[in-house]
Structure 1
Amino acid sequence: MKIKKRSLLFNMIFLISFFMISFPLYAQEKTVSLDVENMNIETVLKMVAEQSGLNVSISKNVVGAVTVKLENVNIYKALDAVLKTNNYLYSMENGIINVYTYQELQQEERFVNLQTKVFTLAHADVIDLKRVLLSMKTPRGKIEINAKNNQVIITDTPEKVREIGEALQELDQKMEMRKYKLLYSEAREIETKLLQLIPKEKGDIYVDERTNSVIVRATPVILNNIDELIEGWDTQHRQVLIEAKILEVTLDETMKLGVEWQHKDTDSLHSPSYTDFAVKFPVSLATTGGIFKIGSLTADEYAITLEALKSKADTEVLSSPRVVVIDGQEASILVGSSEPYIVATTDPVTKLLVEEVKFID
């Protein structure tokens, strides 16, 4: 039983590792959000496929229910969360996510003849890739490292040898370095995003906070994808100007109004007479008699409203607070002043009274 559990865990690790290596960067960038309770696992996998834009093939033996809550996680992390609780496995081949049981994997590999193939790397160091390669092989497979000649000898099923060979071809590329100077985004923020997309074995990321730049060392294929990602991330944020005016309005004798709260029925309210403003408001914002509804005013309507108040009453602008904030973020406006007050304390040594002026908003 312990051996089976270890084998299952080993296969899960191998599949997750290969999944991260074989997935293109655009697929890794896709995020998935799920909030399901006791839902059929096949339905959940279809939801993952729809959100990621990938195809999915599910074995008829994959059954059960899933309860999971995920918010903007990478596709492979979402699949791991959905399948791990039921001990199911997955692999990626030609843009299709294949989901099957552990027993099906064992049955398929049990009768397959093994083959051996030698791969010589030109750029990458086989020692650095050893951990990844060991996690990719099947339980029957074998990985040998020839550090002197920078070679790896793989003995495994033909399909697995092919998969590992493709992964090695992708990993064994000459590394290049590019510097991305950011205009609007923070370098640390971009670094966090890139670390989620680029496995450690496929590149390095450095941050130059002085110039707000990100330096990436990776293969040309990965760097080309990063070019597109950073171009989309490093965009100017929209700014919102919020402006308000706080007025003190003093009505003269002809403008004072009283309110009678009694009424006969809902259709017959006792209302005083009103003085119409000599301006024309939008129907959605004003009604007969100059009664204002709660709503939004355009810049022109806002100015007209103030002019109307000034023309009909003694109006004084007490404050004109304004704030500029990035769209989607919170901002606050403090309307007031700092008032001084005196705090008196007695020095415990000299017994002298010490006064200090402080301010309160």
Structure 2
Amino acid sequence: MLKLAAPCFRHLAGLLLILLAGRAYAQGPNHLLQGIDFVAQQGDSMLLTLTVSDGVPEPTAFTIDSPARLSIDLPDTAIALDDPYRKIGMGNVESVAAVQAAGRTRIVVELREMAPYHLRREGNKLYVEIDNPVAAPASTSSASLPAISANNSAISNIDFRRGEQGQGRIVVSMSNPHTMVDVRDDDDRIVAVFRNTSLPEKLAHRLDVIDFATPVKYIDTKRDGPDTQLIVTPTQGASFDQAAYQSGGLYTIELQPLTQAKLEERQRNEPQYKGEKISLSFQNIDIRALLQIIADVAGTNMVISDSVKGNIAMRLQNVPWDQALDIILRSKGLGMRQQGNVMMVAPVEEIAAREKAELEAEKQKTELAPLRSEIIQVNYAKASDIKALLGSDKTSLLSDRGRVTVDERTNTLLVLETQDKIAEIRKLVARLDIPVRQVLIESRIVIANEDYARELGTKFGVSTIGSIGNTQIGQSGTATGARNVLGGTTPLLDDAYSVNLPTSDSGAPSIGWTILGSDFQVDLELQALQTEGRGEVISSPRVVTANGKQATIEQGQEIPYQTSSSNSGTNTQFKKAVLSLTVAPQITPDNRVIMDLNVTNDSKGTDVNTGTGGTAPAIDTRKLDTQVLVRSGDTVVLGGVFQHSTTDSTSKVPLLGDIPLLGFLFRNSDKEDSKRELLIFVTPKVLQEGLKVD
């Protein structure tokens, strides 16, 4: 358990005196802190009683989560205690300490755990009731409730207006400008509680403002004991910015609609607050004193301009201190600049004027600074390219008096500039003059084919001899064969076949039969052929190139052919049939490669007539143009072409070829199946220094 010993208290008191000593008052305080008493209540809650002469001034309070602290400021108050430190050690309270500085007194309550608290003024007594943290809901573990003013207030009017940008604005008129107002989000609604404020019966009703086309749907106003509640119900699904502020006796709640573009921009640009979380509750506090409190919590030094003036009323609960500071600065048109552990706060215009003056002074310093001449060696880049970059109209690093000259022979820059500018130029050259990264691009072009063919051929013939009366008749496959039969000789096979439908390959396996009688001869030959073929051609062009540079590699032949014309006669021209790879790589920061690729694999085809009496070779083209993004070392299929052709043909003797069972004797069957496939792969590899290309 953390306990505040007397030496620690003296150290804390000294620190607070230094931080709070911002202004000196012309006259002494009008109030005296005369006593600090405490009593334990039911449920382990603690009641502190502060006795102040001539009535209790309006207090302000804020909390710190770690370590758990409750700080109460009493303006225009001095300490009149024998011992400003009280050790309690009961309930949730460890100790109470009072510190005086700059005409006010701060009471620091050291807690074991953060817990809700309540302030109540009665005459010259300020009662501080600190609840038991075990009994309090977790969501209010660091809540701070504002001081309750003894002066009652009344709401005189509630007005709703639509802004030019579609915002819904609720304006509440109050009789007392010091009315305490608590605003919170409750189940997608906005609830504003006006403490100790009465509400006329005529204003206790619901306003339906959905027709105004703002983020506000309903406004409900009702009494809640001594307080008044104003409940704002937004339109379902609406996205909006919520703001609440007070100016005199007018309290305004504004809902600004947000478009999808604004929501996305806000998510990108929204600052990340990392400060310690605090709770603040103030009514009409001096802005300088509030900034001193922020500096106290942040543990940093702060310089506040004399131009920072005015008061502010605000209530922030459990927000980072840097976010609280940002809200305060924005609401008052202030800016902040930080150098090391020192913050400077001033109006935005004053900071802008100061920075402008500093820039003017720096410009004059540069104009009056002496010029120096230096030689900067460029190792990898071209010195002329860097010179062009240095002298660019939009990105020039040279002053009006500066000059840069290039020595092409030694690849150096001769710079005439001030010392500061030369240092900037050297930094730029160091960033740009680096070895260019290189890429090895390997492409594979795979051509695969598979062929299948089956043929069945037939040769069939009948030769006979006979007579009708005194007339002899001879019959064979051809007239020559028939004459041979009449002449008493055996006809040749080619002349004996009536059906001659062989396979396309004369060397195909075959089998034959011959039946010979006294006056006839039958010849039959059957042929069958089946062919299968598989092939694969792999071409693998590889090339190394620098990042961003195009490279080309090709292999093949230029095929000559002749053309003729009446004007120029006969000319010899050439056509390329090559395997080529053209690539322009770009290396990304995450070690991937963007490539613009052109891959071709051409070959010579058949000769075709040119129309002028000559012929020219046709080129069978395989080409791919594309852009891909590939991780270094990975292989990607760029594309492919698959061709599948099937042919089934039959040659036959009409009618006879269709006879069942015997029809095969009078026909030829041919069946072909062909498959062709083209695949193109690419593999980029980012080369590191010293890496070899195998």
Name the TM tier (shorter chain). 0.3 to 0.5
> Over alpha carbons, which structure has the higher Rg?
2
Give the TM-score of the pair, scaled to structure 2: 0.20
Give the TM-score of the pair, scaled to structure 1: 0.35
**Highest RCO, 1 vs 2 (Cα 8 Å, sep ≥ 6):** 1
Higher helix share: 1
